[in-house]
C-alpha cells in the first residue's frame, strides 16, 4: 500500500515527486536536446527526452500541489514545455518509422496544448501515413477553423488524398471548410478548383511546369491579369512548389496600381496568402520573404513587413532590396535607429536602388516640414 503521495504517484504512473530543491531549466534542457538531435545518436537524444519528460511531470505535479520551493513555479508553462518535449520525441519516432509511438506523443502534446503549431500538423501527417484519412481530415478541419494559416496544409491534404485514390467524399469536409471560411480568398478559390477537377486526370509534372512557364511569360510580358488563371491548377495539384505561390503573389502586387478600394484590398490579401504559403514551403528563400514584406507594407502592416524583411536580410545580406524594404517598414514604425542601419546597408550595396532613392527623398521631405 502507498504510504505517501510520492508512493501513490509512482504506483500510478512511475513518476513520483522531484527531490527537494529541484529546479527545472527549460531553455537549457531544450538546447541540449536540440543539439543531441542534430548530432546524434538518436538513442541518446531519446534518453534525454525521456528524462526531461519525467522530470517535467514530477516538477509540474509538485507545483500543482504547492510543495516546497516549487510552489512559486505555478506561473511556469508546464503544459507548453511538456508538449514541446513530446513533440520532439515524436519527431524521433517518425524518423524511426514508429508511427504508433509518434501518434501517442503527438496526441498528448495536442491534449496539453490544443493549438500547438507543430504537434497538430504532425499528427495529421501521422494519421495520413497510418491510412486514417478520416481522422486526418477531421483534425485538420478543426485546426483550420481556428487558424487560417493552415490553408496550405488543407490544400496539400486534398492533393495527397487524390493521389492516394481517396474518393471525393473523403475530402469533402476539407473542401467545404475552405470555401466556407474563405469564399473570396485564395484558398477558397483553390478549394473550388480542387472540387471541380477532383475526378479529372491528374496534373502531370510536365503540365505543371508548362503552366508555370506560361505564367512567367505572361508576367514578364505585362499581362499580370493572366497569371492567376494559369497558376490555379498548379497551386491546387502541385501545392508544394514555392515558386508558383510566389509568382501568384507577386502578380497580385503588380496589379495594385490598377485597382481601387475593394479590388486593391483583395489583391493585397491574395498576395499575402500566396507569399505566406511560399515562405512556409521554402523558409530559406530570401526573395519570398522580401516579397511578403512588400505585401505587408501594401496592406499597411509595417510590423509584419519588418519581421519578414529582417528574415530576408539575414538570408541575403548582399541584397539591397531586402535592406531597403526593411528600412521602409522601420520608417513606418518610427524606429529611426534600426531604420538608419538598414538604409546604410542598402546604400552600401546599391546607392542607386529606386527604393533607397525614394526613402531618402521621403526622409528629406519629412525633415523639411
Q: Look at residues 331, 351, 245, 241 and name the one whose alpha carbon lies nearest to residue 288.
A: 245
Looking at residue 340, its pLDDT comes to: 93
Residue 261 has pLDDT above 80, yes or no: no
| Dist. CA 123–CA 83, nearest whole Å | 13
Name the grid cell of 21. 530543491
- Percent residues over pLDDT 70 in the chain: 88
pLDDT bucket at 10, cuts 50 / 70 / 90: very low
**Residue ranges of domains in the chain:** 11-19+44-130, 288-369
pLDDT tens digit string along 333-351?
Answer: 999 999 999 999 999 999 9
Range with lowest mean pLDDT among 17-31, 181-195, 239-253: 17-31
The widest CA-to-CA distance across the chain, in whole angstroms, is 84
Residue 328 has pLDDT above 50, yes or no: yes
* CB burial string 197-233: b at 16+ within 10 A, e below: bbeeeebeeeebeebbeebbebbeeeebebbbebbbb
Architecture of domain 288-369: Alpha Horseshoe (1.25)
Residue 188 has pLDDT above 80, yes or no: yes
| Dist. CA 91–CA 353, nearest whole Å | 44
pTM: 0.82
Give the mean model confidence (pLDDT) for residues 227-248: 96
117: how many CB neighbours lie within 10 A of its CB? 12
Residue 90 near residue 105 (C-beta atoms within 8 A): yes
Residue 6 has pLDDT above 80, yes or no: no
| Dist. CA 87–CA 107, nearest whole Å | 9
Residue 142 near residue 109 (C-beta atoms within 8 A): no
Looking at residue 368, its pLDDT comes to: 62
Those residues with Cβ within 8 angstroms of residue 97's Cβ, 6 or more apart along the chain or in another chain: none
Range with lowest mean pLDDT among 12-21, 162-171, 238-247: 12-21
Residue 319 has pLDDT above 90, yes or no: yes
Name the grid cell of 281. 514551403
112: how many CB neighbours lie within 10 A of its CB? 20
Residue 205 has pLDDT above 80, yes or no: yes
Range with lowest mean pLDDT among 3-12, 28-37, 168-177, 281-290: 3-12
Residue 169 near residue 157 (C-beta atoms within 8 A): no
Q: At what angle do helices 151-163 and 227-237 cross, to 10 degrees?
A: 60
Looking at residue 290, its pLDDT comes to: 98
Is the model more confident about 69 or about 300? 300
Residue 11 has pLDDT above 50, yes or no: no
pLDDT tens digit string along 118-132?
Answer: 899 999 999 999 999
Residue 327 near residue 313 (C-beta atoms within 8 A): no
Rg (CA), the chain: 25
Give the mean model confidence (pLDDT) for residues 163-181: 96
| Dist. CA 299–CA 302, nearest whole Å | 8
Looking at residue 33, its pLDDT comes to: 87
DSSP assignment of 88-145: HHHHHHHHHT-HHHHHHHHHHHHHHSTT-TTHHHHHHHHHHHTT-HHHHHHHHHHHHH
Looking at residue 35, its pLDDT comes to: 86
pLDDT tens digit string along 277-286?
Answer: 999 999 999 9
pLDDT bucket at 59, cuts 50 / 70 / 90: confident
Name the grid cell of 36. 543531441
Residue 36 near residue 45 (C-beta atoms within 8 A): yes
Q: Which residue has the cell 487524390?
A: 162
Looking at residue 192, its pLDDT comes to: 97
In eight-state DSSP terms, residue 249 is H
Residue 12 burial (10 A CB sphere; 0-12, 13-18, 19+)? exposed
Residue 48 has pLDDT above 60, yes or no: yes
Looking at residue 63, its pLDDT comes to: 72
Looking at residue 71, its pLDDT comes to: 42
Give the mean model confidence (pLDDT) for residues 241-258: 90
Looking at residue 8, its pLDDT comes to: 37
DSSP assignment of 24-46: --HHHHHHHHHHHHHH--HHHHH
pLDDT bucket at 262, cuts 50 / 70 / 90: low
* CB burial string 270-308: b at 16+ within 10 A, e below: bbbbbbbbbbbbbeebbbbbbbbbbbbbbbebbebbbbb
Mean pLDDT value across the chain: 88
| Dist. CA 156–CA 19, nearest whole Å | 47
pLDDT bucket at 200, cuts 50 / 70 / 90: very high
pLDDT tens digit string along 76-120?
Answer: 788 898 999 999 999 999 999 999 999 999 999 999 998 888 899
Range with lowest mean pLDDT among 13-17, 191-195, 235-239: 13-17
pLDDT bucket at 21, cuts 50 / 70 / 90: very low
Amino acid at each position: 500500500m502507498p504510504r505517501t503521495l510520492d508512493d501513490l504517484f509512482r504506483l500510478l504512473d512511475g513518476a513520483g515527486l522531484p527531490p527537494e530543491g529541484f529546479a527545472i531549466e527549460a531553455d537549457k534542457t531544450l538546447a541540449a536536446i536540440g543539439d543531441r538531435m542534430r548530432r546524434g545518436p538518436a538513442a541518446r537524444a531519446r534518453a534525454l527526452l525521456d528524462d526531461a519528460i519525467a522530470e517535467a511531470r514530477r516538477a509540474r505535479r509538485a507545483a500543482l500541489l504547492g510543495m516546497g520551493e516549487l510552489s512559486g513555479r505555478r506561473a511556469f508553462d508546464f503544459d507548453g514545455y511538456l508538449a514541446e518535449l513530446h513533440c520532439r520525441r515524436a519527431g524521433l519516432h517518425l524518423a524511426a518509422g514508429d508511427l504508433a509511438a509518434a501518434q501517442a506523443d503527438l496526441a498528448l502534446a495536442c491534449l496539453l496544448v490544443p493549438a500547438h503549431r507543430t504537434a497538430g500538423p504532425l499528427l495529421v501527417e501521422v494519421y495520413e501515413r497510418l491510412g486514417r484519412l478520416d481522422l486526418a481530415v477531421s483534425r485538420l478541419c478543426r485546426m483550420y477553423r481556428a487558424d487560417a494559416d493552415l490553408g496550405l496544409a488543407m490544400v496539400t491534404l486534398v492533393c495527397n488524398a487524390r493521389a492516394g485514390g481517396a474518393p471525393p467524399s473523403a475530402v469533402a469536409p476539407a473542401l467545404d471548410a475552405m470555401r466556407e471560411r474563405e469564399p473570396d480568398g485564395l484558398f477558397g478559390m483553390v478549394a473550388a478548383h480542387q472540387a471541380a477537377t477532383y475526378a479529372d486526370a491528374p496534373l502531370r509534372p510536365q503540365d505543371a511546369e508548362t503552366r508555370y512557364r506560361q505564367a512567367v511569360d505572361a508576367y514578364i510580358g505585362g499581362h499580370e491579369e493572366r497569371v492567376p488563371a494559369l497558376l490555379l491548377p498548379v497551386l491546387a495539384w502541385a501545392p508544394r512548389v514555392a515558386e508558383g505561390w510566389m509568382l501568384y503573389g507577386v502578380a497580385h502586387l503588380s496589379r495594385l496600381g490598377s485597382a481601387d478600394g475593394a479590388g486593391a484590398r483583395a489583391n493585397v490579401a491574395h498576395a499575402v496568402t500566396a507569399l505566406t504559403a511560399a515562405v512556409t514551403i521554402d523558409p530559406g528563400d530570401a526573395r519570398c520573404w522580401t516579397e511578403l514584406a512588400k505585401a505587408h507594407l501594401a496592406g499597411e502592416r509595417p510590423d509584419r513587413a519588418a519581421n519578414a524583411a529582417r528574415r530576408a536580410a539575414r538570408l541575403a545580406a548582399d541584397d539591397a532590396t531586402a535592406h531597403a524594404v526593411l528600412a521602409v517598414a522601420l520608417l513606418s514604425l518610427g524606429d529611426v535607429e534600426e531604420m538608419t542601419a538598414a538604409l546604410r546597408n542598402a546604400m552600401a550595396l546599391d546607392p542607386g536602388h529606386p527604393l533607397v532613392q525614394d526613402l531618402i527623398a521621403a526622409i528629406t521631405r519629412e525633415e523639411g516640414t
